[in-house]
Amino acid sequence: NAGVTQTPKFQVLKTGQSMTLQCAQDMNHEYMSWYRQDPGMGLRLIHYSVGAGITDQGEVPNGYNVSRSTTEDFPLRLLSAAPSQTSVYFCASSYTSGTGELFFGEGSRLTVL
Amino acid sequence: DAKTTQPPSMDCAEGRAANLPCNHSTISGNEYVYWYRQIHSQGPQYIIHGLKNNETNEMASLIITEDRKSSTLILPHATLRDTAVYYCIVRARPTNDYKLSFGAGTTVTVRA
């Protein structure tokens, strides 16, 4: 059981470049979300989804796009990377009922020069 | 979701119990207390959750005060591998509000 898989684990971008962080889960979870974590800080919610075709903004959505075409995948797109987006990104998923515990991926470390 | 307040850091001796406090004075009746931990830049890991009764699992115990305004996570026999950032959050379950964010948490250092 792979759980939540994020790719790539590391990425370096130049300002203005675009890229997509991939997140896939094999637990049939309805809820998926993206967080960013800056040094010494907690996790801040970027975007989330409660099912295929449904997405919504979190606390810090500016500069990021998401889509949810399947239950399994929830990619995060940076259309024009900025140095302020240098961070560690975590994807998480859960059922929308039951215990509600979140399962996290191992993170994607992004540096924007 | 209600706000939580945790001490920024604490030390614990290996083999001793670690008691991690969390204040959530504005918690509402349908909100649960959840604890997660994050070991050195890994993805956070679920530990335990509770509503009003004390809870115990293989990882930890959760003690919630009778007025539910605070709680304590207990790691009964801390090991060096328990060194991590511990997050206390409250959320309603089931919920239509999924805007769940984590504060800075408590950095726990277990010393030999």
Residues of chain B contacting residue A56, judged by C-beta atoms under 8 Å apart: 98
Q: What is the pLDDT along chain B (112 residues), one digit of tens a residue?
A: 568 999 999 999 999 999 999 999 999 888 889 999 999 889 999 999 999 989 999 999 999 999 999 999 999 999 999 999 999 998 876 555 677 778 889 999 999 9
Q: What is the pLDDT of residues A74-91, one digit of tens each?
A: 999 999 999 999 999 999
Residue B55: count other Cβ atoms within 10 Å of its Cβ. 17
Q: What is the pLDDT of residues A32-66, one digit of tens each?
A: 999 999 987 889 999 999 999 999 999 999 999 99
Interface of chain B toward chain A, CB-CB under 8 angstroms = 32, 34, 36, 41-46, 49, 87, 91, 93-95, 98-105
Q: A76-78 and A19-25: which strand pairing? A: antiparallel
With b for 16 or more beta-carbon neighbours within 10 A and e for fewer, the A15-30 pattern comes to eeeeeebebbbeeebb
Query: And the tokens for A37?
Result: 């974590």
Residues of chain A contacting residue B32, judged by C-beta atoms under 8 Å apart: 100
Max CA separation in chain B (angstroms): 44
Q: Which residues contact B58 (CB under 8 A, 6 or more apart)?
A: none
Selection from B65, B67, B62 nearest residue B86 by Cα: B62
